[in-house]
Structure 1
């Protein structure tokens, strides 16, 4: 992943150029680990360079979601994956593009099923989830909060 855009502060410049990182993964065996590591590094830079609050939970969930989405590309879609992460307000928006036009479908819960729970997990932690066909392939977009929601804290 290479950083393609970065705002210098949280001022009006962010409206036009929010912090962002994008990549074209080559399809080798290290793609998943590389994407997870670089997404965590991106959020660390957002925290230190831009002064945004980014919880440890947000970093962990971002790594999880990026890992699941890139894993799905490796398993089900031919060709490269193109992950893109950007900061929008108080959220990180994760977009992964691939060349397969078939949209993913979360399967019904089944405690006896081994594997194939990734999309269910992603949808359960996401603020929003969208799968959309594009002229070539599809785009999956997931939005996660950058900070923990106090309403989610255990009582």
Structure 2
């Protein structure tokens, strides 16, 4: 990351009831501020809990912090340039999106407890309701969906 502050945007779409809350965080190309990414996710969920009345368990906040940390680490490690973390809540689920400039989808590995490291995607898959990857010529987006209640 550079010395400039990450750009944050938050918003609520009003359709008569607060059914969706969203935020994003732009990140430059190094992983020196992963703690900030985890705090951003926790703060987003805390705000959603207070402002929109979304039920979020402490264990879910901890799982989300691990998921965003793993996905952002992978994006910054394997793609040149910036990444974007997007969080949105809809219908009792949190959608975590991490976009980067590398169009190559991450390779799923066979679980191997003897392997040192490279378990990030396995952990994300174990913690999330679903994980998907969308690729394009300009990069990819990894999406993890987590049930909140």
TM-score using structure 2 length: 0.88
What is the rounded CA distance, in whole Å, between the counterparts of 1:111 and 1:28 in structure 2? 28
Q: Which residue of 2 aligns with 1:2?
A: 8
1:119-143 per-residue CA deviation (whole Å, 9 max, x = no partner) reads 0010111111101102410000000
- Given that 2:31 and 2:77 are in contact with CA atoms closer than 8 Å, whether structure 1 keeps it comes out as no
Residue 47 of structure 2: which of 32, 45, 48 is its match?
Answer: 45
Number of residue-to-residue matches in the alignment:
143
Deviations 1:83-119 (A, max 9, x none): 0000011110000000000100121111211000000
**More helix by percentage:** 1
4+ runs deviating over 4 angstroms? none
1:12 matched residue in structure 2: 16
Aligned residue number for residue 4 of structure 2: none
1:29 CA displacement: 4.0
**Higher relative strand content:** 2
Residues 111-150 of structure 1: pairs in structure 2 closer than 5 A: 111-147=113-149
Give the gaps of 5 or more residues in structure 1.
Answer: 148-155
1:5-154 mapped onto 2 (5 Å cutoff): 5-7=11-13, 12-14=16-18, 18-147=20-149
User: 1:51-105 CA deviation, whole Å, 9 max, x = no partner?
Assistant: 1111111111110100000110121111111000000111100000000001001
Equivalence for 1:152: none
RMSD over equivalenced CA pairs, Å: 1.6
Unmatched runs of 5 consecutive residues or more in structure 2: 1-6
So what's the TM-score if we normalise by structure 1? 0.85
